[in-house]
Amino acid sequence: MISAKIAIKNLNLWYSDFQALKNVNTTFVANKISAMIGPSGCGKSTLLRTFDRMNDLIEGVRVDGQILIDQENIFDPKMDLVKLRKKVGMVFQRPNPFPLSIYENIVFGERIHKSNLKRDQLDESVEISLKSVLLWEELKDKLKKPALRLSLEQKQRLCIARLIAVKPEVLLMDEPCSALDPQATARIEELMRELKNKYTIIIVTHNMQQAARVSDDTGFMLLGELIEFGHTQEIFTAPKDKRTEDYITGRYG
């Protein structure tokens, strides 16, 4: 039996009086890519932000239920948020490199989590992280250059490398290709397939073709509910719920 990396149990979330997530239950398996699809405002990004508790930063948010990562409830009052956000990294819709050098971008998180690292340890981490996102050969002679001068695709890869440097276990990706052209999108999707060998990846996407291409499992959300979750091929070819079928076939959304 395959054990769950992440298990969601009876999850509800409110923004003040508005209920954004309604009794969500599902599991995510390690070393898989899971895509969350659904119309705008259905709760996809809200769900994604619960995994590293970024919703805590929003005033008026209230959560009920459990999210277990490696069987540990992340809403436990004793949960160390720094430790959680090291374990669960987020890649945003638009790349957000810091206004620092390429090198300093990658070691930024490590300097926070480990204050006694030596230069050769940082150098090794930079090389490993850039190789993981297939940027080492392009950037190994430009590490002192400003990260903001990179192309959009390179910036997105750099942001992924920055996460990898702190050794997370889960990668969250919120519309990671929406700002990229088709060629860059294809390369990021190829990178995702390689990264899943080491990480559990959950992506939010409006692009159903992308979900079909890159993910192992897919969940369809509507009005805060997780309508259906299962193997991607089954969701797209033989959905169990008519609402899923209507969305996939373009009848609404």
Please provide the average confidence, as pLDDT, over all residues in the chain.
Answer: 93
The answer to whether residue 16 scores a pLDDT higher than 90 is yes
pLDDT in tens, 64-113: 999 999 999 999 999 999 999 999 999 988 899 999 999 999 999 888 87
| Residues in a beta bridge with 200 | 170
Range 4-248: architecture per CATH: 3-Layer(aba) Sandwich (3.40)
The model's pTM: 0.92
Least confident residue range of 113-117, 119-123, 223-227: 113-117
The answer to whether residue 1 scores a pLDDT higher than 60 is no
CA neighbours closer than 13 Å in the CB half-sphere of residue 129? 28
Q: Which residues of 145-175 are buried (b: 16+ CB within 10 A; e: fewer)?
A: eebeebeebbbbbbbbbbbbbbbbbbbbbbb
pLDDT in tens, 209-250: 999 999 999 999 999 999 999 999 999 999 999 999 999 998
